[in-house]
């Protein structure tokens, strides 16, 4: 049975997958799906997340479980990060997450919903303190989000494709 491509389903696709669906629709002469895909691509290229938009996801490159403190019930504290503390509480209220990656081209090896955060001393780096996140793990690795340099990237509430908490 073929997939029925609604606008909501297409909005949820990452850009490479959306382009693949558009190309397939072109080949099948399905102009409705082509038009929806093209409209989404155009709106995404014009719409960058506002820096004032709340952060809902933190993607971090991290050595496997370095400084991770896991509790008996599976929840865990992440390592310590240089993250603006003003980003943390809004992310918790919005059902945000943290995804730990070995590299930007690799899916996360550990991820969780934000429950809390605190300031802690850092073992490495120039700054003496940073933020550690308290997380409830969820299944399924996440693809890296963002194209920024460095070891972290933020997904903001108005970024496309939208992320809906599980």
Backbone φ and ψ of 112, nearest 5°: -165, 160
Please state the φ and ψ torsions of residue 145, each to the nearest 5 degrees.
-115, 125
Burial of 159: CB neighbours in 10 Å, binned 0-12, 13-18, 19+: buried
DSSP state of 66: T
**How far is 104 from 12, CA to CA, in rounded Å?**
20
Q: What is the pLDDT of residue 46?
A: 47
Contacts of 153 (CB under 8 A, 6+ apart): 58, 59, 104, 144, 145, 146, 147
Residue range 20-70, pLDDT digits in tens:
888 899 999 999 999 988 888 777 654 455 667 899 999 999 888 778 899
Q: Both tokens of residue 25?
A: 């629709």
Q: What's the pLDDT score for residue 90?
A: 93
d(CA 162, CA 138) in angstroms, rounded, equals 18
Confidence band for 122, pLDDT divided at 50, 70 and 90: confident
Note the pTM of the prediction, 2 decimals.
0.68
C-beta of residue 151 within 8 angstroms of C-beta of residue 60: yes
Question: Residue 61 has what pLDDT?
Answer: 92
Residue 104 is predicted with a pLDDT of 86
Coil, strand, or helix at residue 118?
strand
Higher pLDDT, 147 or 140: 140
Mean pLDDT over each residue of the chain, to the nearest integer? 85
Query: What ranges do the domains of the chain cover?
Result: 7-46, 55-156
Tokens of 78: 């992440």
Reading the block at residue 124, the tokens are 């490495």
Q: For residue 158, what are its two tokens?
A: 């108005």
Give the residue ranges of DSSP H helices in the chain.
Answer: 7-11, 15-27, 31-46, 88-93
Per DSSP bridges, beta strands 97-101 and 55-61 are: parallel
117 falls in which pLDDT band (50, 70, 90)?
A: very high
């Amino acid at each position: 049975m073929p997939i029925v491509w609604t606008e909501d389903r297409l909005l949820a696709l990452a850009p490479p997958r959306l382009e693949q669906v558009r190309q397939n629709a072109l080949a099948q002469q399905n102009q409705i799906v082509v038009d929806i895909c093209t409209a989404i691509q155009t709106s995404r290229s014009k719409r960058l997340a506002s820096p004032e938009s709340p952060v809902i996801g933190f993607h971090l490159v991290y050595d496997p479980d370095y400084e991770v403190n896991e509790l008996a019930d599976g929840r865990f504290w992440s390592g310590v990060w240089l993250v603006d503390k003003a980003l943390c509480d809004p992310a918790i209220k919005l059902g945000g997450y943290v995804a730990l990656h070995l590299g930007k081209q690799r899916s996360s090896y550990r991820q969780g919903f934000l429950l809390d955060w605190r300031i802690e001393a850092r073992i490495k780096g120039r700054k003496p303190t940073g933020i550690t996140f308290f997380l409830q793990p969820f299944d399924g690795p996440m693809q890296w989000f963002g194209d920024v340099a460095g070891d972290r990237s933020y997904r903001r509430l108005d970024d496309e494709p939208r992320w809906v908490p599980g």
